[in-house]
Amino acid sequence: MSEPLLRVVNLEKKFPIQRGLLKRTVGQIHAVDGISFDIAAGETLGLVGESGCGKSTTARLILRLLDPTAGEIYFNGKEIHTLSREEIRKERKDMQIVFQDPYASLNPRMTVRQIVAEPLIVHGMAKDDSDPAVDEMIELCGLSREFGNRYPHEFSGGQRQRLAIARVLVLDPKVIVLDEPTSALDVTTQKQVLQLLQKLQKQRGLSYLLITHDIGVIRAMAHHVLVVQNAKLVDSGNLDHILNHSTHAYTRLLVNAGYDKK
């Protein structure tokens, strides 16, 4: 097999539990406990588990928005876990993240065009928001270029998430970490945003780490799946294996709960 695009080995994060006025450390939360995986180019790796199992912490560690307690992250031929803050910033062009809540992740004082142009300007890839790449990206993500001078609050949740996707995609990254990208959306809008992500993946050979508590999203999108319970990786395999053949009790529980909801 060829080298994976992203490789994570024994990733670990412990948060201190602090009490009292002096913030004495009285214990530790093991938020991520020894998680390993590979993602190949063009592939969607689903990471599923219930709330609090360490999904968002895993996402933040991979992008080094948080520093791991232990473990290794390899991306683009680099040891992400050993890079300095400055070096990490450069790598972020190729590894981006979309959060669950588009309301919180978009600056309310910036127009659509400014929001999409900002990362390009930061990375020295455009002078200002009149760069044609900006409007092209807005349209590619299913928004009209007439919306360019509007503000995020004028949009629906689905449109805002399209905007958040446009903002990361404009840098032409190789990997996008999607942390519950559709959990705040109604079912119809959720489907449309997932279809957009699939279209973009096909066009650009993108890799996704798709984080969700919703097995339905996994079923629609993932090629391979990781099942996480209480900070630990408890099961993994290709989509068909996880949905239809896994004998792991927790995986069966998640999959069956997903069918009950339908």
Ligand X SMILES: Nc1ncnc2c1ncn2[C@@H]1O[C@H](COP(=O)(O)OP(=O)(O)O)[C@@H](O)[C@H]1O
**From the list 8, 11, 31, 177, which residue makes contact with ligand X (rule: CB under 6 A)?**
31
CB 48, min distance to ligand X, A: 10
Using CB under 5 A, pick the residue from 44, 56, 58, 236 that binds Mg ion.
Answer: 56
Helix 132-140 and helix 157-169, axial crossing angle in degrees, nearest 10: 130
Binding mask 51-90 for ligand X (x = CB under 6 A): xxxxxxx---------------------------------
User: Least separation, in Å, of the C-beta of 50 and ligand X?
Assistant: 7
Number of residues near ligand X (by CB under 6 A): 11
Q: Is 229 in the site for ligand X (CB under 6 A)?
A: no
Contacts of 111 (CB under 8 A, 6+ apart): 129, 148, 149, 150, 151
For the bound state, the minimum distance from the C-beta of residue 253 to Mg ion, rounded and expressed in Å, comes to 19
Which residue's Cβ has the minimum distance to Mg ion? 56
52 binds, among Mg ion, ligand X, none (CB under 5 to 8 A by kind): ligand X
- Kindly state the smallest distance separating residue 154's Cβ from ligand X, in Å: 29
Stretch of 49-57, 133-141, 163-171, 244-252 contacting ligand X, by CB under 6 A = 49-57
Among 7, 9, 14, 15, binds ligand X (CB under 6 A): 15
Q: Out of Mg ion, ligand X, none, which partner does residue 83 contact, by CB within 5 to 8 A per kind?
A: none
Radius of gyration (C-alpha) of the chain in whole angstroms = 19
Alpha-carbon distance 129 to 135, whole Å?
A: 9
If contact means CB under 5 to 8 A according to the sort of partner, which of Mg ion, ligand X, none does residue 151 touch? none
Rounded to a whole number of angstroms, the minimum distance from the CB of residue 97 to Mg ion is 12
Of residues 91 and 214, the one with the C-beta less far from Mg ion: 214
Residues interacting with Mg ion, by CB under 5 A?
55-56
The footprint of ligand X (CB under 6 A) covers 15, 29, 31, 49, 51-57
